[in-house]
């Protein structure tokens, strides 16, 4: 099995050198795809022949796996699950079967999460799981993926244990907070001091995420929201839409546009479809 990630004793990512890097066929540009999976989350990142899938959406069938093949994804280097909610992980078994080379990266804080443990056992994928226990940075040529693993305790909301990621090429950066609420904003803005022109709204655009402070501190220009059309949660919340509109940011919604693709133009991530 070729490996994109290996782990030091403190859980930091390092690149595994050598071997063919053949993540996707065709277009060589780095790109980010906010995939249309309905009321859930799945984000595809492709750069320098490497392909990373963050979350696998709400559907327990092979719809996402088929979508990835339609997008000419030849292989996956890793599947990263931000947290255990089913709308983020329910497609994992089908995707893992379609791409058997991909390890599954999960926050070590959720190692003993009862629902997640049951899911992993039902998937029969325990040998594919790699538990991420500390922040780290993976360098892939000119690109870098930064990961932060928040603390999480049983009995507290799973959302605020979401693994936080930032993907950058030079100054063009994308932040994916999973379902984290604004309670985690200080980690992003003060501890990590992340900047990003493109941010995915936390928790599908719920009222408790994607604060005005976060958008300002990140220096965001574009906000992407992954949510289902006419979903029962009424995501995105009007307050979030007002925050985005008041800040003069560009808004991109999967419930309105389907899968949304970003590539680097003029030094920042810009939508191309």
Nearest to 52 by CA among 72, 78, 33, 28: 78
The tens-digit pLDDT sequence of the chain (273 residues) is 344 444 332 343 443 222 333 344 444 579 999 999 999 999 999 999 999 999 999 999 999 999 999 999 999 999 999 999 999 999 999 999 999 999 999 999 999 999 999 999 999 999 999 999 999 999 988 999 999 999 999 999 999 999 999 999 999 999 999 999 999 999 999 999 999 999 999 999 999 999 999 999 999 999 999 999 999 999 999 999 999 999 999 999 999 999 999 999 999 999 999
**Whole-Å CA distances, 188 to 69, 138, 184, 231:** 33, 18, 7, 28
Of 273, 35, 45, 12, nearest to 166 by C-alpha is: 45
Could you tell me which of 135, 30, 15, 122 has the C-alpha nearest to residue 77?
15
Separation between Cα atoms, residue 147 and residue 107, nearest integer Å: 10
Helix/strand/coil for 124: coil
Residues near 221 by beta carbon (within 8 Å), at least 6 away in sequence: 197, 198, 249, 250, 268
CATH superfamily membership of 5-271: Ribonuclease Z/Hydroxyacylglutathione hydrolase-like (3.60.15.10)
Sheet strands side by side (includes 250-253): 136-140, 143-148, 164-169, 172-176, 198-200, 222-225, 250-253
**Alpha-carbon separation of residue 112 from 103, 118, 152, 201 (angstroms):** 19, 10, 11, 28
For residues 152 and 109, what is the distance between their CA atoms, to the nearest angstrom? 6
Structure pTM? Answer: 0.91
In this structure, how many other beta carbons lie within 10 angstroms of the beta carbon of residue 5? 20
Parse the chain into domains and list their residue ranges.
5-271
- As a whole number of angstroms, the distance between CA 247 and CA 269 comes to 18
C-alpha angle with apex 254: 267 to 233, nearest 5 degrees? Answer: 130
256 closest CA partner among 232, 235, 233: 235
Nearest-angstrom CA–CA distance, 248 and 54: 28
**Does residue 236 have a cis bond before it (omega within 30 degrees)?**
yes
């Amino acid at each position: 099995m070729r490996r994109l990630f290996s782990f030091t004793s403190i859980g930091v990512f390092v690149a595994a050198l050598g071997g063919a890097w053949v993540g996707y066929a065709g277009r060589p540009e780095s790109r980010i795809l906010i995939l249309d999976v309905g009321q859930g989350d799945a984000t595809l990142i492709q750069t320098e022949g490497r392909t990373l899938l963050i979350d696998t959406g709400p559907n327990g069938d092979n719809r996402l796996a088929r979508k990835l093949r339609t997008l000419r994804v030849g292989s996956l280097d890793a599947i990263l699950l931000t947290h255990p909610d089913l709308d983020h992980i329910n497609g994992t078994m089908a995707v893992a079967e379609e791409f058997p080379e991909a390890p599954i990266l999960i926050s070590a804080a959720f190692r003993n999460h009862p629902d997640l443990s049951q899911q992993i056992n039902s998937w029969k994928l325990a040998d594919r799981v790699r538990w991420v226990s500390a922040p780290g940075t993976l360098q892939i040529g000119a690109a870098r993926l930064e990961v932060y693993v928040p603390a999480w305790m049983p009995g507290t909301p799973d959302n605020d244990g979401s693994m936080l990621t930032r993907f950058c090429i030079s100054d063009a950066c994308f932040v994916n907070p999973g379902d984290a609420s604004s309670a985690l904003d200080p980690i992003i803005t003060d501890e990590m001091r992340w900047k990003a022109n493109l941010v995915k709204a936390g928790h599908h655009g719920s009222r408790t995420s994607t604060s005005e402070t976060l958008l300002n501190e990140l220096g965001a220009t574009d906000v992407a929201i992954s949510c289902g059309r006419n979903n029962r949660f009424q995501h995105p919340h009007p307050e979030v839409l007002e925050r985005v509109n008041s800040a003069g940011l560009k808004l991109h919604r999967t419930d309105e546009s389907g899968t949304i693709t970003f590539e680097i133009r003029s030094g920042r991530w810009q939508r191309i479809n």
